[in-house]
């Protein structure tokens, strides 16, 4: 079974287009709120126009089987879903600090192995549920506390 891809920059699925009438409703409501005649719609970001920094770490051996560095996964896990996050994704196209690796641990052993490896290698491990944090909880830290390494531990 192929899993339907989530949008990497907003809510919903990657293949979902907001119906024109729904968009028109939003435009009417927001132009009233901001007292402007109309909006210039912003083009949504596309994965193929974004170049991600190469992963700075390589997960070893058995752990690699539950990890991925696939582009969509790294884009999808770069931000939470606050308005600030959406603005950085949609308006600034700022994917300059993505997680290096995304992990999908299946067992307790996977989790212990990943955390041990992170601890031993100064890699930040960020638990990730649905990714709807509005306080930067899932955003990779921008500072250099870690040796250039980040990793999101996802859905168990
Ligand atoms: C449009 C919108 C509306 C919202 N409305 C509400 C609301 O009405 N009420 C409300 O309370 N919140 C609301 N929120 C906030 C959001 O739903 C919460 O932040 C939510 O709890 C995040 O859940 P998540 O699974 O997506 O966690 P994530 O966003 O994945 O993670 C949130 C934090 O928890 C940590 N975390 C995740 N999983 C684990 C784990 N297994 N173990 C340890 N730490 C973990 C993450 O590292 C991160 O710091 C809203 C957010 C949005 C964008």
Into how many domains does the chain fold?
Answer: 1
State the residue range of the domain holding 85.
Answer: 48-154
Please give the distance, rounded to the nearest whole angstrom, from the Cα atom of residue 77 to the centre of ligand 1.
13
Probe residue for ligand 1, chosen from 128, 136, 152 as the CB with the greatest number of ligand atoms within 8 Å:
128
| Residue 26: inside a domain | no
Residue 52 belongs to domain with CATH number = 3.30.43.10
pLDDT at 146 over 90: no
User: Which two structure tokens, joined as six digits, stand for 101?
Assistant: 């690796």
Least trusted range by pLDDT, from 6-10, 42-46, 146-150: 146-150
Instruction: Answer whether residue 150 shows pLDDT above 70.
Output: no
- Residue 129: DSSP 8-state: S
Q: What is the pTM of this model?
A: 0.91
DSSP output for 24-59: HHHHHHHHHHHT-S---PPPPP-GGG--PPPPS---
Q: Residue 156 — very low, low, confident or very high, per pLDDT cuts 50/70/90?
A: very low
| Nearest alpha carbon to residue 103 among 63, 134, 131 | 63
Residue 88 neighbours by CB under 8 Å, 6+ apart: 79, 94
Chain segment 54-96, per-residue pLDDT in tens: 999 999 998 999 999 999 999 999 999 999 999 999 999 999 9
């Amino acid at each position: 079974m192929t899993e339907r891809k989530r949008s990497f920059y907003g809510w919903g699925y990657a293949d979902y287009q907001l119906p024109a009438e729904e968009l028109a409703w939003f435009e009417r409501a927001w132009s009233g709120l901001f007292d402007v005649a109309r909006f210039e719609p912003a083009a949504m970001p596309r994965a193929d126009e974004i170049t991600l920094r190469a992963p700075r770490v390589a997960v070893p051996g058995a752990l690699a089987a539950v990890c991925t560095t696939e582009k969509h996964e790294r884009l999808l896990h770069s931000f939470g879903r606050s308005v600030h996050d959406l603005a950085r994704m949609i308006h600034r196209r700022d994917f300059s600090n993505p997680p290096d690796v995304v992990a999908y641990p299946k067992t307790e052993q996977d989790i212990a192995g990943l955390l041990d490896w992170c601890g031993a290698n100064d890699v930040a491990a960020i638990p990730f549920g649905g990714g709807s944090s509005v306080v930067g909880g899932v955003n990779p830290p921008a500072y250099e506390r870690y040796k250039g390494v980040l990793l999101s531990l996802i859905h168990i």
